[in-house]
Structure 1
């Protein structure tokens, strides 16, 4: 039963929320369709490979990759298993702390993400960047930066990749 204390959304807030929800549900599918068609990658596989490509020595702890991809270690492990079978990623115990596992992007994995990146960047441009003005992009960036501390997992790696 609704609580009398509930702060219901105004009409403008409801429109904003519906717009964000539409983006959250439709954009990943559009990006995944392009990646599957052009590179045989899921969006999640691409993000794992891309994050590793931006890391020093193309290496990260599995726990860090799980944080960056906002996934469980179990889900990440399944994807990394597929990538290992394809020769794109290798895993080994962390030499600094054997409780952790390190994932490293292989040369073949790096080539895979480099080959997939131009098509992915074009899809991002088509669906997100090109329809917006520079001022709208700055506004979105500022809004997301304001919300980011309230979301799990915080920052993403900064790099040239997309």
Structure 2
């Protein structure tokens, strides 16, 4: 198709065969890794991987609490998805919401002692699953390369500017 038949738009730079193989391998590996970690956490802790990540973020925050908007931003999820997740975590007794003292409209998510204990018990199994699925399969040089590649990807994909379509603002 030339530019005359597609409304003047330039042709896409199609992936080469090698790039296509890398892209498919990346997609398969990341899907399988996320599924592997999800199954491990469901089995061992009764929660999906995203909930575990939220508990980790809260455990590392001062006084084990974060503004809901900051938690959504750090987790790279929509406020709606975060609200649903926090509601489920509240139902389990692992998180509670508190009004934000500095902003009447804001809320904090707070990790409860029970939530901290669930995280403490589930962390060893989770780190073992991560290590077996990823790091034990790579040489130290490959780990360094993967870290650099992921940093570059994240840096290039980080939305910027006042009109950026950021998940945590939706």
TM range, smaller chain: 0.7 to 0.9
TM-score normalized by the length of structure 1: 0.88
1:44 aligns with 2:50: yes
Across the aligned residues of Structure 1 and Structure 2, the Cα RMSD in angstroms comes to 1.8
What does residue 119 of structure 1 align with? 125
What does residue 157 of structure 2 align with? 151
Number of equivalenced pairs: 154
Q: 1:109 to 1:25 in 2, by over 3 A?
A: same
Q: Contact between 1:68 and 1:153, CA under 8 Å: does it hold in 2?
A: no
What does residue 110 of structure 2 align with? 104
Structure with the bigger RCO (C-alpha within 8 Å, sep 6+) is 1
Query: Could you say what secondary structure the match of 2:110 adopts?
Result: strand
How far residue 4 of structure 1 moved from its aligned partner, in angstroms, is 5.2
Q: Rg larger in 1 or in 2?
A: 2
Structure 2 gaps of 5+ residues are 161-170
Q: Contact between 1:62 and 1:100, CA under 8 Å: does it hold in 2?
A: yes
Distance 1:90 1:152 in 2: 30
- Select which of 86, 89, 93 maps to 2:92: 86
How far residue 151 of structure 1 moved from its aligned partner, in angstroms, is 2.4
- Select which of 93, 101, 109 maps to 1:95: 101
Q: Contact between 1:90 and 1:106, CA under 8 Å: does it hold in 2?
A: yes
What does residue 165 of structure 2 align with? none
1:9 aligns with 2:20: no
Structure 1 gaps of 5+ residues are 155-162
TM-score normalized by the length of structure 2: 0.84
Consecutive aligned runs of 4 or more in structure 1 exceeding 4 Å deviation: 1-4
Distance 2:140 2:35 in 1: 25
